[in-house]
Structure 1
Amino acid sequence: MSITIRQAQPQDAQAVVPLIIDAIGDIANRLTGEQEPEAIERELAVLFKREDNRHSYLNTFVAVEDEKIAGILVYYNGEQAIEMDANLVNWLAAKNAPNIIIDKEAHEDEYYVDTICVVPEARGKGIGTLLLQFAIDQTKKRGFNKLSLNVETKKEQAIRLYERTGFVITEPWSIIDEPFHHMVKKI
């Protein structure tokens, strides 16, 4: 298995956006201000191609196997999220979108794994673990000592994976009124 991880490019939207939606579920509705699947995908592609929000290609890394995108990592600094989310709220307001409240997902002193997802046919090959290790390595290179993520409290298999990688549950969190665990790995 030869997998490379690279910075996403705007032209990756068609492959990346469905994986973001797969990973974040109904949160995509709120982030786009849309309800219909086609509209959610279209508007998330718009956000992905922009440079000023959390789901920008600039915050996305892709795992490539046999020249195809096999997985994604959306990853950014918690402090930068404040401005990125303000940009997103302004974009949603300009669209007259409902529910334009964007929940904070990370503390300012953390790098944050927003989204990690692997295409269904490549699951079980360790690609998710490679992406997570990439985030750990990048966090260290960027001079930070905490990497965080949020995981739904009912996703026990994911929680075990993160714990095996050294993440610990540090506090309860809420995203769109759903319960999550905030997990942190000290670097």
Structure 2
Amino acid sequence: MSITIRQAQPQDAHAVVPLIMDAIGDIANRLTGEQTEEAVKRELSNLFKREDNRHSYLNTYVAIEDEHVLGILVYYNGEQAIEMDANLVKWLKAKNAPSIIIDQEAHEDEYYIDTVCVTSEARGKGIGTLLLQYAEELTKQRGFKKLSLNVENQKENARRLYERLGFVITEPWSIIDEPFHHMVKQI
């Protein structure tokens, strides 16, 4: 298996967007202001191709093998998230979306792993771990000391994986009124 990780490109939307939807579930509805799967997919594709929001290709990395996307990492700075989320709220208001509240997901002094997802056929091959390690390396290169993520309280297997990789629960967190553990790895 020869996996490489690279910055996503706008033309990767067809492979990346379904993985984002798989990973974030109903949060995708809130982030797009849409309810049907087709509309959510269309609007997430539009957001992915833009450069001003958390799900932009600029914040996305893809794990590929033989030019096939096997996994994704959506990753950004907590401070940058403030402006990106303000842009998202403005976009949602302009389209009269039913919900325009975007919850903060990271502290400003952290790099944040928003989304990690691997295609169903590639799961169990260590690709998710490679993407997490890649985020850690990028965080070091960018001179930050904290890498964070949020994991739903009931996802105990995911929490254990993150703990094995050196993340520790630092505080409770809430995203769309659901309980999460905020986990941080000191770099």
The Cα shift of 1:66 comes to 1.9
The Cα shift of 1:14 comes to 0.3
- The correspondence of residues 64-79 of structure 1 with structure 2, limited to 5 A, is 64-79=64-79
Give the structure 2 partner of residue 167 of structure 1: 167
- The correspondence of residues 61-140 of structure 1 with structure 2, limited to 5 A, is 61-140=61-140
Task: For 2:94 and 2:68, locate their aligned partners in 1 and report how far apart those are by CA, in whole Å.
Answer: 35
Task: For 2:37 and 2:138, locate their aligned partners in 1 and report how far apart those are by CA, in whole Å.
Answer: 33
Q: What code does the residue aligned with 2:85 have?
A: D
The Cα shift of 1:168 comes to 0.1
Once the two structures are superposed, what CA deviation does each residue of 1:57-88 show, in whole Å capped at 9, x if it has no partner?
Answer: 00000000121000000000000000000000
Task: For 1:67 and 1:111, locate their aligned partners in 2 and report how far apart those are by CA, in whole Å.
Answer: 27
Once the two structures are superposed, what CA deviation does each residue of 1:117-174 show, in whole Å capped at 9, x if it has no partner?
Answer: 0000000000000000000000000000000000000001100110000000000000
**What stretches of structure 2 of length at least 5 have no aligned partner?**
none
Give the structure 2 partner of residue 185 of structure 1: 185
Give the structure 1 partner of residue 147 of structure 2: 147
Q: How many residues align?
A: 187
Percent identity over the alignment is 82
Task: For 2:75 and 2:88, locate their aligned partners in 1 and report how far apart those are by CA, in whole Å.
Answer: 16
Task: For 2:173 and 2:65, locate their aligned partners in 1 and report how far apart those are by CA, in whole Å.
Answer: 34
**What stretches of structure 1 of length at least 5 have no aligned partner?**
none
Give the structure 1 partner of residue 36 of structure 2: 36
Task: For 2:180 and 2:22, locate their aligned partners in 1 and report how far apart those are by CA, in whole Å.
Answer: 17
Question: Taking structure 1 as the reference length, what is the TM-score of the superposition?
Answer: 1.00
Question: Taking structure 2 as the reference length, what is the TM-score of the superposition?
Answer: 1.00
Stretches of 4+ aligned residues off by more than 4 angstroms: none
Once the two structures are superposed, what CA deviation does each residue of 1:29-71 show, in whole Å capped at 9, x if it has no partner?
Answer: 0000000000000000000000000000000000001210000
| Matched residue SS, 2:80 | helix
The Cα shift of 1:89 comes to 0.1
Give the structure 1 partner of residue 48 of structure 2: 48
